[in-house]
Amino acid sequence: MVFAISLVACNDKCDEGNQPTPGSFFVEIIDETTNENVFENGMYTSQQITIQDLDEATIPFEFIENLNLIQIFPPVTNATGNTFVIKLNNETTLQMDEIDVNYDVLSSAGECFITFKIENILFPYNTSELVESIHVVKI
């Protein structure tokens, strides 16, 4: 009996520690007038970022300090029609900006888990371009 259990454990290719990385994408925010990154030029700090869905639920993100980029981990529940808002609010200068983001999710079932890819990312009210897998958005 013990032999059969250990044999099953050895044949299990799915390791609990081997999890997929969550679906995410990178955003750089640029001042439309100066073409400078808004975190490098001091217009905003990383503490002045809020990302929320339309119900104002917080969307997780990481600010990558040495690159002044935001890595966003949006919900992957719905395949299409997803929207959230990046809010920047500098209370000292009273500068505020909001960036609407629309996206779709592609799911792919693997042997051990489902992976999610964020795709069709659009910034409908801002000029943007994809540069080396980073969405550069102007405000």
Domain CATH for 49: 2.60.40
Q: Is residue 8 part of a domain?
A: no
Question: How many domains would you assign to the chain?
Answer: 1
pLDDT in tens, 52-91: 999 999 999 999 999 999 999 999 999 999 999 999 999 9
**For residues 125 and 100, is the Cβ–Cβ distance under 8 A?**
yes
**Domain range enclosing 122:** 22-138
Candidates 65, 61, 68; CA nearest to 136 is: 68
Q: Is residue 64 part of a domain?
A: yes
Q: Which residues pair with 30 in a beta bridge?
A: 37, 138
Q: Is residue 3 part of a domain?
A: no
Q: Is residue 12 part of a domain?
A: no
What is the reported pTM? 0.87
Averaged pLDDT for residues 29-50: 98
- Most distant CA atoms of the chain, gap in Å: 72
Q: Is residue 88 part of a domain?
A: yes
Q: Is residue 32 part of a domain?
A: yes
